[in-house]
Structure 1
Amino acid sequence: MMHYNVKPGHISVKELVFFILVIFFTVLAVSCSPREGWGLVLWAAKDSRLTTGAVIPLYFKSNITRCWIAGVPGTNGKEEIDIWRVKQFSSKRKALQEAQAYDDYISIFAQAKRQGLVMREEPDNLSKQVYRFLENERCKVLKKVKGVEVRTGNQALEGDWYLVLAEDGTRGYIFSNQFTLIDISKSLDVSSTSQSPIPAPDFLQKVWRPSYFDSLASQSMYDLMMFQLTYGFFYYASESKIFINLPWLSKSYPAEQFYRNSDGSYRAEPSKLRFMLTADNKLMCIPPEQDVANIAKDFPFVERTAGEEIAFTFAVTSLDLQKLINSEKANRIARLKKFLANGTRFSSDV
């Protein structure tokens, strides 16, 4: 065993050479490591230099981090990629053949039309459930497959079975009847194809609460059904989505790209959710028409645009919502105790 006596602030020449050699041979071992195979990228991470559909060399698989060390095509660089994002092959030729077949599905995703739709272990409606989707959640389509016919009563449902990947890497099968197939390479309107996407507006980083919070609070009207910490307009950049939560609407909208419209408003794609800042620094949001079709024209707490579109407004509030809610709960308990102070039997003269 080798022993080193290192004095504070001093390293001997022998020790320095030793450490340099250790670092050199470690880097050399990684850079010269033999390939373990080739891979087809099924669904690249958003911030990755690897692209969906690319054929890549695979050097080392870690079962601890559940990642491959893979080569970045066109460079000498390497990058980690989740194991579930890659399909491994023994040769480059086989990987290229699979890539050619996958070419038709590179930009195809499936989006759940409602919450609770399931992914199954096999393309059979009686097969084991392996994943449950949220409304508007997307999965990556890998290919269309043959499966067992899906029936409701005596009627066969229209649709096809697809092999898909969920966002957490779960793999299984969905029936397309309750999913929307989206080609993200063609998801924009023809009128917007000449535009270039812009970065997410900075004001989305703020915490936006329903503007009626301040209005009701100024009148000391504290309806706990209307005041909830979960209500608001929330942008989750890491998940590329906007979540709107109100007493009458709770929905997640995919927001993978942002565009500026000619009227100064912003548009999130592919959900087509529109929003803008008003002159009084409120955030006005205009959901797709189908999401507000059941809201009555005289419904309170909503706004209308010049084109008679239903819109919701949000504001950055200074209210201490948790304190307000706790105070209102305490007041209600106090009033109830006072009401019950004279006993628990009540009678009416009628």
Structure 2
Amino acid sequence: MPLRTSPDSYVENIIYRIPKETILKIIYIGEETKAGSLKGRWIQVLTKDGYKGYVFDYSLEVFDNITGTIITSPLDQASQDHATNTFKNIKYLRPLYYEKMIANNTYNTNLLREDYGLFFTHKNEIKINIPELTLHFKFNAVEEVKPNGFLFRSETSKEDFILLLKETQNYYKSIIKAKERNLEATFVIIEQNIKKIILEAEKQNQNLISRLISYGTLINKQYGNLEFKSDKTFVWEIDKKIYNLPNSGTFEIIGLNPKLQISYKNAIKLITKERKEYFCLLDYTNNALQLIFISPKSVEDGLIITDDKDKMAVILFNNDQPKQNMLTKQSQHTT
């Protein structure tokens, strides 16, 4: 972006090229005008390395670093309607983690739902449904935020708004301040049939649940017997005084990074009644099941994304031999 000695578009006035994503200190904001075919304001700025001059705000995202106020430009009604209709025509703005799940063909069905996303209704309402937030926001005014954003306001509260910034062709960053909630989230355009993906993921998960149930009682003399039940609960006869591992609760199927699928077959999460979570990679045969307990630091968006070099525990269970393999590894972190 060119920095100029004066607020005009002459090439000879360029004194510096400002790199992308640079943070600038604003000295003065001029009145709205035109620079060639573009409409905006000339802004006097100071760079971190001491350059002082003018830039045109068409390529800037401007914030007040004292109050946190977003600098906006008013739009006439036709421009507001055009901006609103543009978003109404985007039917599939989904949480960013959908893209990762689909690319990896690995799904957490608790986080993958057909109604998750950001949607515009015909009644000028923005519906947001994500794990962190469910919100219906009625807006009455649209303002422009340079260079690629729009701010939606509600007449019922001057403090509430939703800001949508187009980062690239398919990615939108949102800043949500509504109904006493403050949240930032990124959404991505996903055109795949989510309902079809969910059905396939649920089928895969049910196959794994059926396998775990079919083992019946899984035996390990050192760590105690383990059983998975049809209501998605488990009972583990483990000595809690010795081992910091769960003895009962519920279990969920979660996903794992495709790179881990070379060494492991699936992953589950064990949840105690106190809501403490334990993440496990799985390996199995017809008669044996191995649980590899992984640190929560290796988990992102409900998926195990990295292998844990310092595994909490690796435990092998067997369901048909009185003498079965012992623990293959127990880290010092398990107490």
Structure 1 or 2: more helix by fraction: 1
Based on CA coordinates, which of the two structures has the bigger radius of gyration? 1
Q: TM-score, normalising length from structure 1?
A: 0.37
Structure 2 length normalisation: TM-score? 0.38
Specify which structure has the higher proportion of strand: 2
